A = this chain, B = another copy of it.
Amino acid sequence: MIKIGILGAAGYTGGELIRLLVNHPEAEIVFANSESNAGNLVADVHEGLLGDTDLRFTDAMPFDEVDVVFFCFGHGKSEQFLQEHTIPAHVKIIDLAQDFRIAAPTHDYVYGLPEIHKAQIQQCQHLANPGCFATCIQLGLLPLAKAGLITHDVAVNAITGSTGAGQKPVGTTHFSWRTDNMSVYKVFTHQHLHEIRQSLTELQGSLDASIDFIPYRGDFARGIFCTEVVKFDGAEGTPTNPTAELLADMYRTFYADAAFTHYVDKALDLKQVVNTNKALVHIDKFGNKAVITCIIDNLLKGAVGQAVQNMNLMFGIDEKAGLGLKANAF
């Protein structure tokens, strides 16, 4: 059994992580840390756990009793935490925040996108789990980047569920405002663009095109639905402008070994992945443009599902362990 500690366990990602781990066949939660909730039953704070666990939050952090620690902090707090605390060297760290997603000489965190970094993940001690939008947008573009085909600006629209905005009630997550509503935010400036660009450049060193990303607030709780328009050069059927069939093959090949990412031949709808760790990708081709659709559950493949997938890889167990989730479907 992998012995697990969770920091920031009372937030949304903390809760979803616990919901996953209580059913994981090879995981054992040793501590779920939350100062403000110390002593309270986890099941009283996190929906869906009543009857499943007697676990209580603790303000203790017994790092020497665990194999791995998940950081479920808000962004920026992971780095600060590590400056103020020492985690034993043998304890692996999986950070769900963005603090270490961009490679730098000052840290050794591996960017945990299994579709491109499986080998590094299997070897790493410290892992930076990708962002939700970043995961979805990258999975739609990576095969093209590998083929060097992103040569024009990409128009990206991605609609996220309200859980992406976290647990604290604010104006834009007030039910009365958000239900039946649509809006955009951080247009062209979303912070995930950095990690997206980092991955794309890894595969297509020459990448110069802009990723024009418009994030939408959706009036649903879970999921990201993303479309991406890519323009090709030259006549259709030439290497720089593949046919629809060749594009589909390219994606199928790229994701042939992916445990949870699949190319699908028909149009997608978001609920096909809600409450699963899957990413599904579909492409339509119109003349010299491709329209890529990619969908994930923002809390699972976009956060803790991928984190558990990474944990499985880091500990050498079945990549799918604990992630055989029944889709919500409705």
Contacts and interface: CB of A to CB of B under 8 A. Distances in A.
Interface of A: 12, 15-16, 19-20, 23, 44, 46-51, 153, 155, 157, 159, 161-163, 165, 167, 169-171, 173-185, 187-189, 212, 214, 216, 218-223, 225, 227, 229, 231, 260, 262, 264, 266-276, 278, 280, 284, 286, 289, 291, 293, 295, 299, 324-330
Count of chain copies: 4
Contacts of A46: 329
21 contacts: A15-B329, A19-B329, A48-B274, A50-B278, A51-B260, A51-B264, A51-B280, A162-B179, A162-B330, A169-B174, A175-B219, A175-B221, A179-B330, A180-B221, A183-B225, A183-B268, A184-B291, A185-B267, A188-B291, A299-B330, A326-B326
Contacts of A212: 155, 229, 289
B330 A222 contact: yes
Given A19-B327, A161-B330, A188-B291, A222 B175 contact: no
A221 B176 contact: yes
Given A262-B51, A269-B182, A326 B161 contact: no
A24 to B, nearest CB: 10
A42 to B, nearest CB: 13
A230 to B, nearest CB: 11
Contacts of A220: 179-182, 219
